[in-house]
Amino acid sequence: MKILGIETSCDETAAAVVEDGTKILSNEIASQIEIHARYGGIVPEVASRQHILAIIPILEQAMAKAKVSWHDLDGIAVTMGPGLAGSLLVGVSVAKALALAQQLPLIGVNHLEAHIYANWLSGDQPLFPLICLIVSGGHSDLVLMRNHLDYVLLGRTRDDAAGEAFDKAARILGLGYPGGPAIEKAAREGIASIKLPRAWLKGTNDFSFSGLKTALLRLAEGDKVSTVADAAASFQEAVIDVLVTKTVAIAKEHRVKQILLAGGVAANKPLRRRLRESSDIPVLVPEPILCTDNAAMVAAGGYFRFQAGKTSGLDLDVVPGLKLA
Ligand code: KG4
Ligand code: ZN
Whether residues 187 and 252 fall in one domain:
yes
pLDDT in tens, 179-189: 999 999 999 99
Q: What's the domain range around 238? A: 126-285
Mean pLDDT of the region 49-65: 98
Question: What's the pLDDT at 41?
Answer: 86
Whether residues 234 and 274 fall in one domain:
yes
> Which atom of ligand 1 sits closest to the CA of residue 291?
1
Question: What's the pLDDT at 224?
Answer: 65
Whether residues 15 and 65 fall in one domain:
yes
> Is the residue at 321 inside a domain?
no
Question: What's the pLDDT at 177?
Answer: 87
Whether residues 135 and 109 fall in one domain:
no
Tell whether ligand 1 has an atom less than 6 A from the beta carbon of residue 298: no
> Is the residue at 98 inside a domain?
yes
> Is the residue at 315 inside a domain?
no
pLDDT in tens, 220-276: 888 666 799 999 999 999 999 999 999 999 999 999 999 999 999 999 999 999 999
162-172 helix and 179-188 helix, angle to the nearest 10 degrees: 60
Asked if the model's pLDDT at residue 135 lies above 70, the reply is: yes
Domain containing residue 93: CATH number:
3.30.420.40
The Cα 151–Cα 131 span in angstroms is 10
pLDDT in tens, 88-104: 999 999 999 999 999 99
Whether residues 96 and 242 fall in one domain:
no
Whether residues 143 and 225 fall in one domain:
yes
Whether residues 175 and 153 fall in one domain:
yes
Cβ-contact 135, 265 below 8 angstroms: yes
Number of domains forming the structure of the chain: 2
Whether residues 161 and 87 fall in one domain:
no
Tell whether ligand 1 has an atom less than 6 A from the beta carbon of residue 268: yes
> Which atom of ligand 1 sits closest to the CA of residue 269?
26
> Is the residue at 319 inside a domain?
no
Question: What's the pLDDT at 82?
Answer: 98
Whether residues 238 and 298 fall in one domain:
no
> Is the residue at 317 inside a domain?
no
Mean pLDDT of the region 124-152: 97
Cα of 261 from ligand 2 centre, angstroms:
13
Non-local CB neighbours of 86 within 8 Å, separated by 6+ positions: 44, 45, 47, 48
Q: The pTM is what? A: 0.97
For residue 2, give the 3-state DSSP assignment: strand
Whether residues 157 and 267 fall in one domain:
yes
Tell whether ligand 1 has an atom less than 6 A from the beta carbon of residue 136: yes
Mutation test residue for ligand 1: of 136, 171, 274, the one with most atoms within 8 Å of CB: 136
Tell whether ligand 1 has an atom less than 6 A from the beta carbon of residue 181: yes
Whether residues 269 and 142 fall in one domain:
yes
> Is the residue at 52 inside a domain?
yes
Whether residues 265 and 182 fall in one domain:
yes
Q: What are the two backbone dihedrals, phi and then psi, of residue 2, each rounded to the nearest 5 degrees?
A: -110, 125
